[in-house]
Amino acid sequence: MTDLEHTSDSALVPKDWTYAPAPEARDIVTLAERYGHFVGGEWIDAAETYTTISPATEEPLAEVGQATPAEVEQAVTAARAAFDDGWSSVSPSERAKYLFRIARVLQERAREFAVLESLNGGKPIKESRDVDLPLAAAHFFYYAGWADKLEYAFPNQRPRPIGVAGQIIPWNFPLLMLAWKIAPALAAGNTVVLKPAETTPLTALLFCDVLRQAELPPGVVNIVTGDGSTGAAIVTAGGVDKIAFTGSTEVGKAIQRELAGTGKKLTLELGGKAANIIFDDAALDQAVEGIVNGIYFNQGHVCCAGSRLLVQESIYEPVVDKLKRRLATLRVGDPLDKNSDVGAINSKQQLEKIRELVAAGEEEGAEIYQAPCRLPEKGYWFAPTVFTNVAQSYRIAQEEIFGPVLSILTFRTPDEAVEKANNTPYGLSAGVWTEKGSRILWMAERLRAGVVWANTYNRFDPSSPFGGYKESGFGREGGRHGLEPYLQLDESEAFGG
């Protein structure tokens, strides 16, 4: 804090309670000027490149490979060779050791990864440091524990690896999504070709050095970078046995159409338009913190974000008042500043989409409130936003905005809350705030959402499965359920298999 003044008794008393800057040092991260692709345990030069930037400043960070179909095929060939040449037959306890090593190295290098994640992605450093990195390491630890217990995970069946997994991850949680996908694939005995998002490739490329430290056999994990055309090449590659995709519903549908009839396994984790439901008996201050965490965490770049707030009519005014007061305390700014609560929007394209949908909300008649804050002049920024007087038919209540924008609706009865919450093509998550345990169970039974949080929001754990219904995709990641998409399950001989 700044601006201290002397009182009569010579004590120092702050007259301005604003936070002084507390930037995290960038020098812990060393970036190469140019990156190729990590194939067969080695770096190969990229025939084509593009520039990845910091969304907070628009400064160029590095030249990154734009993988061609030939380079993707090279990565798939390396993954197939590693699978056939021994990884699939490595003893499960040995596979577990590699996963444990990866987890420990991630913990040891957590600060380096956190800084790079915030630098390349725009999210606040305290989120990268306190959420993304601990969870990424925890997933490798968790699946290391399952690697030699697959027969117990799926009793009366013979679990076998399926082969080469093609994995395409999004830009909102680059390292965490990498961990969600690579850890269960390796634990099950598969090899991997992974493509990080076009705008956030740097932590995946740094992860290649973790693989080197862990002495993972060459070709078990291959990482190629590029845009959607690179992802499409992975989807259509003949040597890939399973596709795992996290991203937009539109792209997920295209992948499903492409794979129809091919026999390739597929899991999709797509968009969401989650309802965060506040009942009149909820602890309101706690609920307001859950609302803020549900929609402004990671700038709203969260597929399960609580972007629709359903408030029981009798407490509508106090909830809105408390929420607006809380928004006034959010600090928007430099992602590397440890005081920042809301960072930069990930890309110019995403910022334009957010602006378009917010303008549509105003045109349709919703009332907008934006937190008072000064946005930086350079970079991609959007102030935390709340819409009231929202109708179910408005675009802001139907379409995934994927930004720090909250739409508030009301309800009178639990039945109406369920009806409104389920009135969406999506079904990824929901939140319920009430002191009644019976009501939580009643709501959870009726909400068509893969995850229902009770008196909390955005709480993740490696042992808990995550995934959606309807246009939010199918398949689960995390927990024992997250192993199943990476295994061929045959009936045990004891049961006539």
DSSP state of 20: P
Element (H, E) at 105: helix 92-108
* Burial environment of residue 210 by CB neighbours within 10 A (0 to 12, 13 to 18, 19 or more): buried
What whole-number distance in Å separates Cα of residue 344 and Cα of residue 375?
10
Q: What amino acid is encoded at 450 in this protein?
A: G
Q: What share of the chain is helix, strand, coil (3-state, %, to 5)?
A: 40, 20, 40
Q: Which of 127, 208, 303, 477 is catalytic?
A: 303
Identify which of 211, 209, 200, 29 has the alpha carbon closest to the alpha carbon of residue 112.
Answer: 29
Identify which of 112, 114, 144, 120 has the alpha carbon closest to the alpha carbon of residue 132.
Answer: 114
Q: Judge whether 208 counts as a catalytic residue.
A: no
Structure tokens at 173: 């949680």
C-alpha to C-alpha distances, 201 to 159, 174, 208, 333, nearest whole angstrom = 33, 8, 11, 22
Q: Are strands 265-269 and 242-246 parallel, antiparallel or unpaired?
A: parallel
CB 299 within 8 A of CB 123: yes
Q: Judge whether 269 counts as a catalytic residue.
A: yes
What's the CA dihedral at 184, 85, 233, 58 to 10 degrees?
60
Residue tagged 């893969």 (tokens): 450
DSSP 132-159: IHHHHHHHHHHHHHHTT-HHHHSTTEEE
Identify which of 353, 49, 58 has the alpha carbon closest to the alpha carbon of residue 227.
Answer: 49
Indicate the angle between helix axes 110-121 and 92-108, nearest 10 degrees: 70
Q: Phi/psi at 162 (nearest 5 deg)?
A: -90, -20
- Using DSSP, state whether 13 is helix, strand or coil: strand
User: Over 205-240, what HEC string results?
Assistant: HHHHHHHHHCCCCCCCEEECCCCHHHHHHHHHCCCC
Q: Which of 117, 127, 198, 269 is catalytic?
A: 269
What whole-number distance in Å separates Cα of residue 163 and Cα of residue 474?
20
What whole-number distance in Å separates Cα of residue 227 and Cα of residue 298?
22
List, in order, residues 6 or more apart from 205 with CB less than 8 Å away.
35, 38, 64, 196, 223, 225
* Catalytic residue annotation: 269, 303
